[in-house]
Chains A and B, each alone.
Chain A
Amino acid sequence: MGYLLKTDWWKWLCVTILIYTVVGGLLFPVPRLNILNETIRVLHFHVPMWFGMILLFLSSVIHAIKYLKNGNMNSDVYSSQLAIVGLAFGILGILSGMVWAKFAWGEFWSNDPKQNGAAISLLVYLAYFVLRGSFQDEQQRNRISAVYNIFAFAMMIPLLFILPRMTDSLHPGNGGNPALSIYDTDSNLKKVFYVAVIGWTLLGFWISTISIRLTITKQKLEDA
């Protein structure tokens, strides 16, 4: 995170990739599949949101661990701001998924294990912010919320990656539904998708560096 705060070449990379993603994702030819049709383009916008969310939460947890190790205030700011941006990505992911599900499955919410898992993982981080709000003492707040961050993230792993595989799901990649591996035969999708994941994730980190700077500056002003 410190490296990202100092350099900015990756911001140009991010802008380039996102322009390419939006143009290419909306205009490149896509395979004609029944039911899915053009909605397959959601692949470039919905799926990267989840990748971005997981990566942002992961780095939030890494900074929480760092905070517990060295008690550096900045680590807590990094951790909480990354979690906020991750939460925003998760909300966008769930909304874009619901719009897609309306066309592909016929309902916004069809009680699918993937959808439920996604909703619960958002609840976890909403609870994290409620927890942060309920402390008077700043040091105690930072330490206890770092502990909950790690605990909750570790419990999210079985929820998102193991449980959905044990039950049937409508979601691509589960219960015999085709997912990325079958689209791999189609190079047009692949050309945009992998780049799109990198682009959206970089955008997430970009937003978090801005909010980290803002929070640190505010704290300095308060202390001064």
Chain B
Amino acid sequence: MERVVELIKKDLIVDWRQQNPITGIMLYLTSTIFTSFMAFKGLVSVEVWNALFWIILLFTTINAISKSFIQEERRSLYYFFLSKAHEIILAKLIYSFLYLFTISIVSLIIYSTLLGNPLINHGLFLLNLVLGCLGLSAAFTMISSIAFRTSNRSIMMAVLGFPVIIPVLVLAISNSFKILDSYVFMQIQGNLTALFSVDVIIIALTFVLFPFTWKS
């Protein structure tokens, strides 16, 4: 557990010292939101607001999480001798979840400033956002560890990631639309549980399968 904390701390320090990637992602996010603000000006219904928000989050995730193993290329042998595979993946999962959740909060703030804020039930929306981010970050961390071994990484991230992420995305979008449509917790409890169980499946698979992509 100590090593997991150390690895998370290391990721934080790397991101803090090398501010290029995080600034890049934030700028990417802002410009995507601004472009959609220009394109959709005046015709944003609640449905469009919701779908657009998740689509922007999806594309930002692909770009944000893809770095999680690619940046480790030169260091991977060093970690291989230093710590066990499941410690590394646990640290990566926690870190990429925190990273993605921060991004999604920033994105929600910018997005609702520019395109309006139809949110009624903030708590429930955030709960669904947390579950969605958990699934997105875990699935793309796993995909990133696969894509990191191939020769054309950036394309592989999208090609391998999209089909796998669709269950999470479909559930998250339909849940958040229901939340915007002023459903209460009792009515969407089942759907939130379904989303959570898909997250659990992804995380469990990542734990089992990651050691095989790591030792090479």
Interface residues of A (CB under 8 A from B): 68, 120-121, 123-124, 127, 130-131, 134-136, 139-140, 143-144, 146-148, 150-152, 154-155, 158-159, 162-163, 166-167
**Given A159-B166, A163-B171, A68:B160 Cβ within 8 A:** no
Interface of A is mostly: helix
A162–B194 CB distance below 8 A: yes
**Given A123-B162, A124-B163, A154-B205, A144:B146 Cβ within 8 A:** yes
B212–A146 CB distance below 8 A: yes
A143–B212 CB distance below 8 A: yes
Give the 3 A-B CB pairs with smallest separation, nearest first.
Answer: A124-B163, A134-B150, A123-B163
- Asked if B216 is an interface residue, CB under 8 A from chain A, the answer is yes
Interface membership of chain B positions 170-207, coded 1 if the CB is closer than 8 angstroms to chain A and 0 otherwise: 11001000000000000000010010001001100100
Interface residues of B (CB under 8 A from A): 139, 142, 146, 149-152, 156, 159-160, 162-164, 166-167, 170-171, 174, 191, 194, 198, 201-202, 205, 209, 212-213, 216
Identify the closest chain A residue to B208 (Cβ). A150
Name 10 extra pairs, CB < 8 A, besides A151-B164, A163-B167, A163-B171: A120-B163, A130-B156, A131-B150, A144-B150, A150-B205, A150-B209, A151-B146, A159-B166, A162-B194, A166-B191
A134–B164 CB distance below 8 A: no
B166: chain A residues within 8 A (beta carbon): 120, 159
B163–A134 CB distance below 8 A: no
Number of A-B residue pairs having CB atoms within 8 Å of each other in the complex = 77
CA distance A154 to B205 in the complex (A): 8
B213–A143 CB distance below 8 A: yes
B213: chain A residues within 8 A (beta carbon): 143-144, 147
CA distance A123 to B160 in the complex (A): 9
CA distance A157 to B171 in the complex (A): 14
CA distance A121 to B167 in the complex (A): 11
**Given A140-B216, A147-B146, A147-B213, A158:B151 Cβ within 8 A:** no
